Every structure is written in C-alpha cells, then in structure tokens.
Amino acid sequence: MSGEPQHIDDVHHELKLRGVLGWIEYRLPVFNWINNAVGTNYPTPKNLNYFWNFGALAGIALVIQILTGIVLAAHYVPTVDGAFASVERIMRDVNYGWLFRYVHANGASLFFAIVYVHLFRNLYYGSYKYPRELLWWLGLIILLLMIITAFMGYVLPWGQMSYWGATVITNLFGAIPVIGDELVLWLWGGYSVGEALLRGFYSLHYLLAFVIAGLAILHIWALHQHRSNNPLGIDIKGPQDVLPFHPYYTTKDLFGLGIYLILFAALVFYMPNALGEPDNYIPADPLQTPAHIVPEWYLLPFYAILRAIPDKLGGVMALAAALLVLFVVPWLDTSKVRSARFRPIYKQLFWILVADVFLLGYIGGSPAEGIYIPIGQLATAYYFLHFLVLLPIVGKLESPKPLPDSIATAVLEENKRKRARKLPQVGAQPTSAGGHH
Amino acid sequence: MTAEPKGDDGTRRDFIYIATGAFATVGAGIATWPFIDQMNPAADVLALASLEVDISGIQPGHALTVKWRGKPVFIRHRTPDEVQQARAVNVADLRDPVRDEDRVQQAEWLIVVGICTHLGCIPLGVKETDPKGDFDGYFCPCHGSHYDSSARVRKGPAPRNLEVPAYEFLTPTLVKIG
Ligand code: HEM
Ligand code: FES
C-alpha cells in the first residue's frame, strides 16, 4: 500500500451486475449484501490463523444438523411406545436412514467440539473484550441453547440413557426452593418422565435449532460491526492490515471444511458409535436404573461440577454458575491487552485452565466415589478460582510485552525473521495467511 | 378538537400511550398463561386410577416393586429384626427426622415410592441379590445414597427420606395405593 493511510471502509468492491442478476439486484440488493458479508467487500485482518476457521465450521455444523434433523423428523415417532422402535426402523429399514442418524448424532458431538475450540480461542486471544462483549454474550447464549437442544435430542431415541438422563436432569430443578416440586411436575407434564415430556422435548428440539440459527445471524451481525479480532489482538488501523474475505478466507475456510469433513466421514463410516453410550440401545425401562448414568462427553465437565458439591441445591447452583461466570469474563479480565501472546502469565493460566477442564471431563465420566470425589472438587474450585480471582488479579499485576504498531508491520517483520532463519521459505505459514511474497 | 391547549394535548397523549402499553402488557401476560399451563399434567393424567396390590405372596424379608403413576413403589415385608433396627435409631440424629412409626401403618409393611430423593434414580435393594447399603434398606447406585430399613436417608447426597405414598389396607392382604 502506498500514500496516505486510508480508512478501510474507503476500499469498496461494489459488484456491478448486468442482465438477470442486475435486474434482481436493482430490486433486492442481495448480491451486494452477500458481498459485504463474506465477499470481496468484507475486509478481514490479514493475519488470522486456523483457529479462525471454527466459526464458519460451526455454522456449517448447524446446517448439517438441521438438514439431517428434518429428514429424521419425517420418520421419527414421538411416543413412549413408538420412539425407540422408530429409531431402530430408521437404522434398519429407511433408505439411508442409518446415514442420517449417524450424521446427526455424531454431528452434534463434533458441533460441540468445534464450538468449544471456538470458545477457548476467544479466551486465548481476548476476543471477548471491548468492543465485542455482546458478540461474546450471543455466543454464550448459543452455547446454552445448544446444550439444551442436544440434551432434548438425546432423550428422543428413548433408550435407557435417554430416559434416565432426562430423569436426573429434570430432577435438578426440584432443588430450587419453594417452586422446585411444582416446576418438575410442570416439566414432566405428569408424575414421571413420560409421554408428555417426550413430545414436548421433540417439539422444542425442532424449534430450538432455528432459534440458534437466528441467534447465529445476530452473532455475525455483531461480528461485522467491529470485525474479527486477530492473533495479535490489536485493532485494524488501515487497509494495509486487511485482506478481502473473498477469495482469501473463503479459500481458507473451504480448506478447513475439507479437513473437517474427512474427520466427520471417518467417524460416521468407521466408528459411528464410538462417542455414544451402549446403554442407549436398550429401550427405556422406568423400573431399572442403569449402573452408571453419564451424559455425552461434551457435557462431562459440567456434570463433574454438578457432582462436586455434595448438596443437591449447591450442585445445581455450581453448574449454573460455571456457565454464568463466562458472561462476566469481559469485566473480570482487567488487562487492556487482548492477546495472550503478549501476556506471559495469563498464557500459562490459560493452559492450566484447559488442563483443568479436561480433568473435569475425565472426572465427570468416572464413578462418583473414592479419590475421584476430592479431585473433582479441587478441579471445580480451580475453575472458579481462575475466573473469579486469578483473571482480575493477573490483569493488574502482569506487565505485558510491547504490542506491535500494526498488523501489517507485525506480519512483515515475522516474515523477515522467518526468511532470515531458514532460507528458502516454502509456502505460507499457518500463522500468517497474508504472508505471500 | 381544534383549539386544544398544547400542554393538555401532551397529557392526553401520554395517557393514551400508557393505557395502551399497560393493556398490551397485561394482555400479553394473560395470553402467556395458557402457554405455560398446557405443560402441566393434563386432566386424564391427573385422573389416573389408584392401584390395588395383593401382598399375600410377599414373604418376610422380601419385597416387591409395583408401578404406580409411572413410578416404582417398593412394598417390603419387614422382619421383626428390621423393624427393631428402624426403631432403635435416635431420630434426632437423622437428616430427615421422622419416626419409623410415622412412616408405616403396619409395622411389618414398609411402602415407599422407589425414587431416590436426590436426582430420581431407582435405589437397589428390592431383589434378593441387590446391595442394600450400609443400613440394611436401599442403596442408590447413582451417587451413593444409603437408606435404612425405614427407607430414611442415612448417608449420601439425598436430602430426604424415600416418600411414603398415600395407601390403605383394604383387607390384611390387599393394599390400595393412591
Ligand atoms: C442445534 C442443532 C441440533 C443438535 C445439537 C441436535 C442434537 C441431537 C442429538 C444429540 C440427538 C440424539 C441422537 C441419537 O443419539 O440418536 C438428536 C436426535 C434427533 N434430532 Fe436433533 N439436533 C439438532 C437439530 C435438529 C433439528 C433441526 C431437527 C428437526 C428438524 C432434529 C431432529 C431430531 C430427531 C427427529 C431426533 C431423533 C432421532 C435420533 O435419535 O436420531 N434435530 N438430535
Ligand atoms: S439419584 Fe440417588 S444418589 Fe443421586
């Protein structure tokens, strides 16, 4: 770039359309709308790394859930007597039914994996900070609804885990003082988990996916207002810091999607039940509790926190707090610097938190006995310690490394350093998408 | 309506705004209730009949599970030993202090809803081979709650004793639950 630094909004790539497209565009400017959203007219920081693929992947994962879900819904029977059999029929008799169900079930798992990476990416690069707090909140609300949606979906096949998972989780609400018992009765629509609950869950499971889609649109709207954060965590200063989304990031996202679909296919075609619980292939039996009730892997850390507190109400409150604390992270983090790259102490705390969450997941999947109990309690305590104590203090005490002047200078310098270190440089580095020379 | 003083006009408008807003809010609030209440147990569910059980076949020391309102009910024929044990406890020490005498109508028959008061699993202890916990009653495997021979919680996370349903003895060997 040469001459005066321009404002990035001065760079316009208006589409000039003729013929049929021009006719439509004149009446409904949909093509420029797309172009402004994910096209050549959406300026994106030039230094995004592969962790910035996960938002787009999450969107695709949602679309896959909705498409496969609509097909499943056409063959599924939401009754206590019919549900299990209808899912077995989908698996055995409906043409490609097995494919739709395995894609839907494993797709839910991978959807969570993607969203968790996405969330921890934000924690690492401080993307939740000013001015992206609302963007962060919308993401957390989406996560909350995903948890509810997946839980309700898991009840639908009406296997043993479906039934007993529903029983244990709905009973949690009974811990709420005064209204608890009434609330549980209301959730059940009867005296136990049964027909009324199954139908209600089915209806809401279908609905919530679309509520999530709506929120995702708001999420992206908020993103576009201040544009993507980046690995350096510094603001875009001018056109030299950005690249048009298309073709640079459409290509990069497509590449990421390719990798994702390969993993997805490996899971669906070679180990479709690896992430599931065998007990859910036993029809629900209201008179027989399975020996171990465990949720799907993506809820295990929360389950561990629930069980860490030896009191029913306390456990429920800890579970809720574990999610709610994330909403106040933008204010608990007192550091002005976004990216952990320039925050030596926070960077270490981040990785300890990651390890802690994995530990919680492991504990959540283990029986609640012996040594697992105190470990689970310690890991829970650390989770809250990280957010409520360490995060505010570290922001004040730590002295961050100096920030680069701009994205462009940092990218140029990094490339220079790399070239000096090992000549010749082959291909682009994954950490600097814009480093083509 | 041509020569309204300005200030007066403003007040009337405010009134209309507020009245409209208030009506809409109350209306929306009232309209919400059916949406909430439709989820409560329906009339046919509430009308579920009670259940009559013949208990003549249950030997002392044995128990039976029956299904009532979709839930298991444990009917245990207690031995004199078990009764004695349940009554020897110092009630004040219990988490949910209730005397055994207040939990049964006839000393040898303990009838409780077989749903753990923690998170709703079904405790073990009905079958001969089941673990009965540290207090010779029921044991919930989900998170380790122990119930005694009066089905009172003695250990573990459960906050309350197993619930005693409404029941009556129609004859010495026929009990009506509900
Ligand atoms: C946020 C998106 C969604 C998530 C995370 C999700 C998750 C799940 C999960 C975990 C299951 C249980 C899978 C199993 O073990 O069998 C399930 C089942 C089901 N879902 Fe979804 N779902 C989503 C969207 C949808 C949509 C949009 C529909 C309908 C249009 C749908 C319809 C169904 C049906 C009919 C079942 C029962 C059949 C089965 O168990 O495979 N889902 N869902
Ligand atoms: S449900 Fe029985 S101990 Fe938790």
CA distances (Å), origin A187, targets A170, A381, B46: 7, 31, 15
Pocket of ligand 1 (CB under 6 A): A 62, 65-66, 69-70, 72-73, 76, 87, 101, 104-105, 108, 111, 146, 149-150, 153-154, 156-157, 205-206, 209, 212
- Given a cut of 80, is residue A417 above it in pLDDT? yes
Q: Return the residue matching tokens 């009867």.
A: A190
pLDDT tens digit string along A270-297? 999 999 999 999 999 988 888 888 899 9
Listing DSSP states for B110-126 in one string gives EEEE---TTT-PPPB-S
Q: What is the mean pLDDT of residues A179-183?
A: 91
Task: Give percent of chain A with pLDDT exceeding 90.
Answer: 80
Closest to A352 (Cα-Cα) out of A123, A114, A111: A123
Find the CB nearest B69 among A192, A292, A369: A192
CB contact under 8 A, A369 and B159: no
CB contacts of A292 in chain B (<8 Å) are 141
Q: What is the mean pLDDT of residues B96-101?
A: 94
Q: Give me the pLDDT at residue A320, please.
A: 95
Q: Give me the pLDDT at residue A424, please.
A: 58
Which band of pLDDT confidence, cut at 50, 70 and 90, is reported for residue B128? confident
Give the separation between CA A57 and CA A114, rounded to whole angstroms: 7
pLDDT tens digit string along A95-149? 999 999 999 999 999 999 999 999 999 999 999 999 999 999 999 999 999 999 9
Give the separation between CA A381 and CA A386, rounded to whole angstroms: 9
Task: Give percent of chain A with pLDDT exceeding 70.
Answer: 94
CB contact under 8 A, A170 and B122: no
Which band of pLDDT confidence, cut at 50, 70 and 90, is reported for residue A9? low
Give the separation between CA A61 and CA A274, rounded to whole angstroms: 19
Listing DSSP states for B136-168 in one string gives EEEEETTTTEEEETT--EEESS--SPPPPPPEE
Which of B71, B112, B113, B118 is the pocket-test mutation for ligand 2 (most atoms within 8 Å of CB)? B118
Q: Which of A50-59, A167-176, A325-334 has the lowest mean pLDDT?
A: A167-176
Q: Which atom of ligand 1 is nearest to the CA of A76?
A: 35
- Given a cut of 70, is residue A1 above it in pLDDT? no
pTM here is 0.85
Q: What is the mean pLDDT of residues B21-32?
A: 92
Say if CB A168 and CB B142 are below 8 A apart: yes
CA geometry: angle at A259 spanning A98 and A46, to 5°? 140
Q: What is the mean pLDDT of residues A35-59?
A: 94
- Given a cut of 70, is residue A52 above it in pLDDT? yes
Closest to A152 (Cα-Cα) out of A111, A199, A109: A199
Which of A77, A88, A98, A104 is the pocket-test mutation for ligand 1 (most atoms within 8 Å of CB)? A104
Q: Give me the pLDDT at residue A7, please.
A: 59
* Mean per-residue pLDDT of chain B: 88
CA distances (Å), origin A336, targets A129, A230, A333, A388, A399: 9, 15, 8, 17, 11
Which band of pLDDT confidence, cut at 50, 70 and 90, is reported for residue A433? very low
- Given a cut of 50, is residue B34 above it in pLDDT? yes
Q: Give me the pLDDT at residue A421, please.
A: 85
Query: ipTM of the predicted structure?
Result: 0.72
Which band of pLDDT confidence, cut at 50, 70 and 90, is reported for residue A233? very high
Distance A112 CA to ligand 1 centre (A): 13
Give the separation between CA A136 and CA A73, rounded to whole angstroms: 32
Any chain B CB within 8 A of the CB of A373?
A: no
Give the separation between CA B24 and CA B22, rounded to whole angstroms: 5
Give the separation between CA A430 and CA A408, rounded to whole angstroms: 16
Print burial letters for A274-291: b (CB count within 10 Å at least 16), e (below 16): ebbbebbbebbebeebbe
Q: Any catalytic annotation for residue B143? A: yes
Say if CB B175 and CB B167 are below 8 A apart: yes
CB contact under 8 A, A293 and B48: no
CA distances (Å), origin B83, targets A41, A342, B111, B149: 81, 70, 13, 7
pLDDT tens digit string along A252-273? 999 999 999 999 999 999 999 9
Q: What is the mean pLDDT of residues B113-123?
A: 92
Which band of pLDDT confidence, cut at 50, 70 and 90, is reported for residue A16? confident
Q: Give me the pLDDT at residue A3, please.
A: 43
* Mean per-residue pLDDT of chain A: 92
